Amino acid sequence: MAVLHLMVGLPGAGKTTTARALAEQHRALRLTPDEWMIPLFADNDAGGKRDVLEGRFITTALQVLRLGVDVVLDFGLWSRDERAALHHLAAGAGARCRSVHLPVEPEEQWRRVQARASTVGSSTFAMAREDLDGWRLRFEPPDAAEAAGGAPARAVPEGWPSWQAWAVDRWPSLDVAGR
């Protein structure tokens, strides 16, 4: 059974390094938005295009999972709702899903972000200390169910009939049928 590996963590946590290792270890397709956003738009969001790109990546991931090939989504996935939706979508594609949480302490995170900026320059996004502090407040670490290898213990958000409907709204270009 194919596995969807979700990289969960803040910038500087080591997600992409770990994602590369997982992709090699599992012969998996690795999808990393930053590697596309910089060459295409020279911007981290580019007026909402990141969500569009992520939706296309998820569509591709579902197609690949249906073929029996593992996929690594290197998005960060800060919200439990995002991760719960992806667990649901993976199951619908006949695959397992696992979250790979990479916690990082604030000082180490800042050190890594600065080091990355000084070594890779234009192939990363500039981040201020204040950005990192604000993002840390928005990040939702895995709950007990997710940490134990399951889906986050989440009900479908109020107002949504299903995780699939929520996901299509969250990632506007998502095609859950995988066309």
Q: Rounded to a whole number, what is the distance in angstroms from the first to the last CA of the chain?
A: 21
User: CA-CA distance, 157 to 28, in Å (whole number)?
Assistant: 31
Whole-number pLDDT of residue 121: 55
pLDDT digits (tens, 9 = 90+) for 87-144: 999 999 999 999 999 999 989 988 988 887 666 655 566 778 898 899 999 999 999 8
pLDDT level of residue 7 (50, 70, 90 thresholds):
very high
Strand, helix or coil for residue 27: coil
- pLDDT (0 to 100) of residue 123: 56
Q: What percent of the chain has pLDDT over 90?
A: 68
Q: Which residue has the tokens 């991931």?
A: 61
Asked if 59 and 174 touch (Cβ cutoff 8 Å), the reply is yes
* Number of other CB atoms surrounding residue 41 within 10 Å: 14
Are the C-beta atoms of residues 30 and 149 closer than 8 Å to each other?
no
Which residues have C-beta within 8 Å of that of residue 42, sequence separation ≥ 6?
A: none
Distances (CA, A) of 107 to 7, 31, 52, 77, 92: 21, 28, 32, 21, 40
Q: What is the CATH number of domain 3-170?
A: 3.40.50.300
Mean pLDDT to the nearest integer, 76-97: 96
> Would you state the torsion angle of the CA atoms of residues 47, 50, 56, 58, taken in this order, to the nearest 10 degrees?
-150
